[in-house]
Structure 1
């Protein structure tokens, strides 16, 4: 007589079963506490307005990167996390569910959960262990490279999950205030901010001519909005969302310039 195979649940170890039970109890407790201590929307809105008027947050509030010949931009994961914290009664994060080195990919969960409303935005996605380079796609085998790749892709999906969970009016106002704060700058005069931007870009090999080409006007006509745009791009390059040559393609000499050089 053949003995039936044990049900998968029966193979769960004692430690795993204890952890599952603990996690379930923790979730129930978090939901109960959130519902017993509801957020004060007016206080959350006031705190959001205060936070978004701080230049330290505004300068990290947006991202920009190239995709399919276009520039993609929007509110960053830094702003998303800050708004979720201020909104309150929210849990969010990413979790690597599995990693397959043979196939070169990981399965990752990104989620944002409003405990008070018991409303959850989540997404499970596949993160290929690949990095796009100027010479084409590069397979990632080093554990640190894979971790950083997964963290970067996870942050993008987490950003989407948080903004999908937060009220649209709350997010829209935060974005508008951060844009105003970024345009006003940190209190220093515009000419000083322009010199600072030129110096920062110069240290990473970007010329004034490339900056002028990017903005479509000479340096002596730059305004607050131009400096704000350059700050967003600089932060995106610094965080690895785009590389320098993607943001500022090397200038090519014209036929007339080449002829004149001969």
Structure 2
């Protein structure tokens, strides 16, 4: 189950909290739904071999493999790992798993939301959850943190921050060997390139990056070798980077810094009139 819901809005200071009839009905429905999920999980336990087979089949799909990893900058370095897209697919394959993101409380006065991300193996009754505060702010490079006022912006900010916690919650309840095999298979799928030859995939990668303003020489600088010497691993890495740029996790400038032009290159090595040494 993948859900995003708001279960409480903060009342004005000093005002009593009231639960309406609709809320009471929803609470009763939620309790009954949980009880039913436990009963169904006990009556229909997972077939581990079937789950493995389905995971292997999913990880052979290029669509999933291209979205199975993330990259983002942090403290001058690049952090990478398995993405929430892979986590959700593995939860589906494993079966009898519920996960979600809940806005437990929104504080408009302090411009923040109290969120909870969770994942629950209903069959084994193994649950992982984390509660965290999300400020209603968006970080920008030029203007620093910018306050969010629109409800849609706040919702999207909460969801984006919660996605990372959902990912970790799901991976926490899945067997490590199951996750590791899925990662290896996705990496292999990227290296295989869907049956295309390496030369074709190199040309496709260069063309794709040129479409977002990254020239081949900048890619070659990053990889440390000319395009004629790129390997399957290089092309697979470029696919992950391209998808991360498309999702807004990193920017093209983060991954492929433009070459710095020196004064000698501008003047052709000639002295600039009026310049002092």
With structure 2 as the length reference, what TM-score do the two structures score?
A: 0.87
For residue 232 of structure 2, the aligned residue among 215, 221, 224 is 224
Match of 1:237 in 2: 245
CA distance in 1, matches of 2:39, 2:63: 35
Match of 2:174 in 1: 166
Are 1:84 and 2:91 an aligned pair? yes
SS at match of 1:38: coil
Match of 1:138 among 133, 146, 149: 146
Indicate which of 46, 53, 56 corresponds to 2:53.
Answer: 46
Structure 2 runs not aligned, ≥5 long? 1-14, 271-277
1:249 CA displacement: 2.1
- What RMSD over aligned residues (CA atoms) do the two structures have, in Å? 1.9
Encode CA deviations 1:162-184: one digit per residue, 9 max, x unaligned: 00111111001111111111111
| 1:96 alignment partner in structure 2 | 103
Equivalent of residue 39 in structure 2, options 28, 32, 36? 32
Give the equivalent residue in structure 1 for 2:274: none
Deviation at 1:25, TM superposition (A): 1.2
Aligned-residue offset at 1:256: 4.0
Q: String of CA shifts for 1:139-181, please: whole Å, max 9, x gaps.
A: 2223332222211111111101100111111001111111111
- State the TM-score, normalized to the length of structure 1: 0.91
The 1:216–1:140 alpha-carbon spacing in structure 2 relative to 1, beyond 3 Å, is farther
**Secondary structure class of the residue paired with 2:268:** helix
Deviation at 1:216, TM superposition (A): 1.7
Structure 1 alignment gaps of length 5 or more: 1-7
Report the secondary structure of 2:208's partner residue. Answer: helix
DSSP-derived class of the 1:110 partner: strand
**Aligned residue among 163, 170, 173 for 1:155:** 163
Q: How does 1:10-29 map to 2 (within 5 A)?
A: 11-29=18-36
For the residues of structure 2 that align with 1:84 and 1:179, how far apart are their CA atoms? 19
Distance 1:157 1:62 in 2: 15
Aligned to 1:5: none
SS at match of 2:45: coil
* Match for residue 59 of structure 1 among 53, 56, 66: 66
